[in-house]
Structure 1
């Protein structure tokens, strides 16, 4: 006889406490296989797909698309043939991993199986069981509708209970929802404060607002930036440099047979210049360990690139960038930006960064005072390259000029170190042959 198993939302990495449900990939009544993807969720780190912990039939879904779910809360019920209720995998709490039996619990792709020293499972309490039953009842009382229809209704602020259902099982279909929206648009709700049939008074203020919940990547970014701004003493320095030789070099590289299959950009040269400059300025690639009262100087470089994505600002990083040639670095940058824009950046791509570049030049901005990525000592801001009059060999000439700015943590980097590092990058870009000499 089938036994219903409740899968609790797991901690998807680094002590995350919640996740937003983006899309259900299954519906009630579907048959699923072990490790089949059942939903896509977004954490403060990245968007990930959750695999099924069981093979069986979906009995209940505990949340609507767009909802935020706390780690450890019921996520999905699956009816499993011949299963024991003790086999239910529980999600780790933010600060610790609960016990799970290796012998009895199926191993989920992407998740290990942790053990407790006693080797015994923590059993669900009667209260937890009652909560799960209540949630199932609530699920069954809701109007029937496919997940995409629920999501569309939520996006438009529509209560599905108010939508006449014409589906063969009594469910609200997409056509039902679209017709309801069309009727609502034809018969708009009167403006608050105005009597039925009356128009707003001439000159009266019309409050046209849109409210967006602060969650997911945007919430994580906001928290991180506030924490960084009020924890690390920021200092920002600027230098304006003639990068005409670097622009000329890029034109030559694009014609070279070695770079014909590679998208080589000014950012690649700036990144390579930064990596070379770090060799003589290692303090810019360090971190402040408050707990141990130590400065951690890192001999590896995981180069972060600030990227504007549909999900908000993200800073994925290129692991061990210091080992890459200019060609390999250009390929890695292309892969990183493409993956970020497509929303495929994973948690592993966002962790363990050591220094960051933000390229505001792509937006036509000349410079800025960037905030440090938490845990890092420095961030370089690369501005727009503009053709403008410039002193060159004693005369005024039209040159390619850009402004670089460097923000750094003054606990880790003093003014001389920061200035030398920024000046070295500027020197390399003004005379890129230096890359050959120092690489």
Structure 2
């Protein structure tokens, strides 16, 4: 007795690994067609706009096809790998997986995301609806475009090849379930306009109703240009033309000669590097923060000689054995104590509800430079940790970031951040706030400098601290007090005991 092809070949789709992210880049495949896999086995590593993540396969079987090559950016919901869960059953492979084509197929449309009131919106010019932040991934739609009779086998083929037998009964059942979830079986309610959160905020600030805008972005997404065009005179609004979506090309076989060439395309004396992944997300976050929150930065130069002596003593302390002990550890502890003394600095500005949200916990972010760009993972509930616990958490955070294994969850929910520019020999800087946070502390290089100590000029260990804060909710007095408290603790580290 042979297995039904509709159940024999299972499609594993790109999951939403970053809470609402729309796409991910395949960094590396750990399996190839013909390899056996088991439930829970990691088959590939992908990079989202937040982190690199390993994806486990949820099936037992044999890899039949890799739908995309390494270096390809894939939409959430698109099929990335086909697994034969009943190898040796004698059934022929699906036509879409076995046929060889001279040209790639058009990518199949991913599932239409469902909003709180029903389907998120109509399909765009390419016949697909992109997944937007907060919508998640719905079940596959039964309505598909007519497919060509050929397909590309192996890595680099179009996503979402259908499995025979699934577009009838299974599709009808999925449609019925979706209709029941939406609370209706007839005409769907008015769809919600498709737009990313920054665009929605821009429309709100400009008083523009998104429902009145004709989208020009790929897949029917409303862009920033659409919003600005809606506020300009009618004669000045020229809708942009959405570029056609092409099927992804297979990854190149030849290895590039340099790291720069690996990241982009070199032509003549220039190399053009695509803006994507962590770099793209960081740029968007920093631009949004810089032009949303009114930044104020204050500076203070402090003698940290006693702190440096305490660091050396702690390195030989048996309670700190095996832990990473450095100046950053005591600076982090000093910031936590300063926040405890000035809790109003640990807050966030809620524009939608017109509220200041005071946080009764501290998720301490540590800016980390990685090969993929700047990331800011945070230590959850850092305010409750002892010094050894804080040292352990810092060590794990830094090691994980350097290995590129930081998860999206580790970078969410931060309340305040430390960025250590001193490791590059830089004296100070004007750090930009992480979105949703009210303060960020920059630590400069610690250098031996002439300093007046007890009435005499002596060589002392000195550093400069810079504190940026959101002036909407942190006024100058509060920001100054926080920075002064940090400096006082680093100058006299015994205050870690007396003030804590």
Task: With the length of structure 1 as denominator, give the TM-score of the two structures.
Answer: 0.75
- Residue of structure 1 equivalent to 2:461: 400
Residues 339 and 345 in structure 2, CA contact (< 8 A), matched pair in contact too: yes
Residues 241 and 403 in structure 1, CA contact (< 8 A), matched pair in contact too: yes
- Residue of structure 2 equivalent to 1:377: 438
CA drift of 1:231 comes to: 0.8
Judged with a 3 Å threshold, the aligned counterparts in structure 2 of structure 1 residues 26 and 402 are, in CA distance, closer, same or farther, namely same
CA drift of 1:212 comes to: 1.5
Name the CA distance, whole Å, in 2 between partners of 1:312 and 1:73.
26
- Residue of structure 1 equivalent to 2:470: 409
**Among 356, 360, 363, the residue aligned to 1:299:** 360
Is 1:14 paired with 2:32?
no
CA drift of 1:214 comes to: 1.0
Residues 10 and 85 in structure 2, CA contact (< 8 A), matched pair in contact too: yes
Name the CA distance, whole Å, in 1 between partners of 2:400 and 2:389.
16
Name the CA distance, whole Å, in 1 between partners of 2:343 and 2:295.
18
Judged with a 3 Å threshold, the aligned counterparts in structure 2 of structure 1 residues 312 and 276 are, in CA distance, closer, same or farther, namely same
Tell me which moved more, 60-69 or 254-263.
254-263
- Residue of structure 2 equivalent to 1:35: 40
CA drift of 1:209 comes to: 1.7
After superposition, give the CA deviation of every residue in 1:323-382 in whole Å (9 maximum; x if it has no partner). Answer: 111222112111111111111111111111110000011111100000001110000000
Is 1:215 paired with 2:280?
no
Is 1:330 paired with 2:391?
yes
- Residue of structure 1 equivalent to 2:285: 224
Residues 44 and 217 in structure 1, CA contact (< 8 A), matched pair in contact too: yes
**Among 409, 412, 415, the residue aligned to 1:351:** 412
After superposition, give the CA deviation of every residue in 1:108-162 in whole Å (9 maximum; x if it has no partner). Answer: xxxxxx999xxxx6543232x837x75xx1236989xxxxxx75626539xxxxx
- Residue of structure 1 equivalent to 2:401: 340
Judged with a 3 Å threshold, the aligned counterparts in structure 2 of structure 1 residues 151 and 325 are, in CA distance, closer, same or farther, namely same
Q: Secondary structure of the residue that 1:258 maps to in structure 2?
A: helix
Name the CA distance, whole Å, in 1 between partners of 2:304 and 2:451.
11
Residues 57 and 79 in structure 1, CA contact (< 8 A), matched pair in contact too: yes
Name the CA distance, whole Å, in 1 between partners of 2:317 and 2:402.
28
Name the CA distance, whole Å, in 2 between partners of 1:385 and 1:233.
29
**Among 377, 397, 401, the residue aligned to 1:316:** 377
Is 1:244 paired with 2:262?
no
Aligned residue pairs total: 359
Q: Secondary structure of the residue that 1:138 maps to in structure 2?
A: coil
Residues 24 and 73 in structure 2, CA contact (< 8 A), matched pair in contact too: yes
CA drift of 1:45 comes to: 1.2
Residues 112 and 141 in structure 2, CA contact (< 8 A), matched pair in contact too: no
Name the CA distance, whole Å, in 1 between partners of 2:286 and 2:156.
40
Q: Secondary structure of the residue that 2:498 maps to in structure 1?
A: helix
Residues 71 and 93 in structure 1, CA contact (< 8 A), matched pair in contact too: no
Judged with a 3 Å threshold, the aligned counterparts in structure 2 of structure 1 residues 16 and 71 are, in CA distance, closer, same or farther, namely same
Name the CA distance, whole Å, in 1 between partners of 2:356 and 2:395.
33
CA drift of 1:260 comes to: 3.3
Judged with a 3 Å threshold, the aligned counterparts in structure 2 of structure 1 residues 258 and 6 are, in CA distance, closer, same or farther, namely closer
Judged with a 3 Å threshold, the aligned counterparts in structure 2 of structure 1 residues 93 and 10 are, in CA distance, closer, same or farther, namely farther
Name the CA distance, whole Å, in 1 between partners of 2:36 and 2:296.
57
Task: With the length of structure 2 as denominator, give the TM-score of the two structures.
Answer: 0.67
CA drift of 1:283 comes to: 2.2
Q: Secondary structure of the residue that 2:298 maps to in structure 1?
A: strand
Q: Secondary structure of the residue that 1:343 maps to in structure 2?
A: coil
CA drift of 1:31 comes to: 2.8
Name the CA distance, whole Å, in 2 between partners of 1:403 and 1:417.
19
CA drift of 1:14 comes to: 1.6
Listed as ranges, the matches of 1:106-117 within 5 Å are: none
Is 1:431 paired with 2:448?
no
Residues 66 and 154 in structure 2, CA contact (< 8 A), matched pair in contact too: no
CA drift of 1:53 comes to: 3.1
Name the CA distance, whole Å, in 1 between partners of 2:137 and 2:297.
48
CA drift of 1:96 comes to: 5.2
Aligned CA-pair RMSD: 2.9
**Among 139, 157, 182, the residue aligned to 2:153:** 139
Name the CA distance, whole Å, in 1 between partners of 2:154 and 2:390.
53
**Among 333, 342, 345, the residue aligned to 1:281:** 342
Name the CA distance, whole Å, in 2 between partners of 1:317 and 1:291.
25
Tell me which moved more, 260-269 or 425-434.
260-269
Residues 15 and 95 in structure 1, CA contact (< 8 A), matched pair in contact too: no
**Among 59, 63, 81, the residue aligned to 2:64:** 59
CA drift of 1:48 comes to: 1.0
- Residue of structure 1 equivalent to 2:85: 80
